[in-house]
Amino acid sequence: MTVKVLFFAGLREALGTGSESLALPGGVATVGGLRDLLAARGEPWSALATTKNLRVALNQQMVGLDAPLKGGDEVAFFPPVTGG
Amino acid sequence: MTVSVQEADFDAGTEIAALSAGRDDVGAVASFVGLVRADKAAGASAGTDAVQAMTLEHYPGMTEKALQEIVTEAQGRWELQGVRVIHRVGRLLPGERIVFVAVASSHRGDAFAACEFIMDYLKTRAPFWKKEETPAGGRWVDARESDDSAAGRWATN
Q: Which phi and psi (to 5°) does residue B100 adopt?
A: -135, 130
Candidate from A3-12, A68-77, B25-34, B44-53 with smallest mean pLDDT: B44-53
Please state whether the predicted TM-score (pTM) of the whole model is above 0.90. Answer: yes
For residue B47, pLDDT beyond 90 = no
Contacts of B8 (CB under 8 A, 6+ apart): B88
- Which parts of chain B fold into alpha helices (H)? 12-20, 62-77, 108-125, 145-152
pLDDT digits (tens, 9 = 90+) for A34-78: 999 999 999 999 999 999 899 999 999 999 999 999 999 999 999
Chain B residues within 8 A of A19 when measuring between CB atoms: none
pLDDT at A29: 96
- Pairing of the two strands B128-134 and B53-58: antiparallel
Dist CA B38 CA B50 (whole Å): 6
The mean pLDDT of B129-148, rounded to a whole number, is 92
ipTM value: 0.95
The mean pLDDT of B29-42, rounded to a whole number, is 86
pLDDT at B44: 46
pLDDT at B70: 98
CATH architecture of A2-78: Roll (3.10)
The mean pLDDT of B44-68, rounded to a whole number, is 87
Q: What is the 3-state secondary structure (H, E, C) of chain A?
A: CEEEEEECHHHHHHHCCCEEEEECCCCCCEHHHHHHHHHCCCCCCCHHHHCCCCEEEECCEEECCCCECCCCCEEEEECCCCCC
Cis peptide leading into B94, omega within 30 of 0?
no
Q: Across the interface, which of A13, A60, A83 has its CB nearest the CB of B128? A: A83
Residues of A with CB under 8 A from a CB of B: 6, 8-10, 13, 53, 57, 60-62, 76, 78-84
Other beta carbons within 10 angstroms of residue A29's beta carbon come to: 14
Sheet bearing A55-58, strands edge to edge: A19-23, A2-7, A74-78, A55-58, A61-63
Q: What angle do CA B24, B30, B31 make, to 5 degrees?
A: 125
Dist CA A2 CA B110 (whole Å): 46
Task: Name the closest residue on chain A to residue B127, using Cα atoms.
Answer: A81
Q: Is B140's Cβ below 8 Å from some Cβ in A?
A: yes
pLDDT at B1: 79
Confidence band for B38, pLDDT divided at 50, 70 and 90: confident
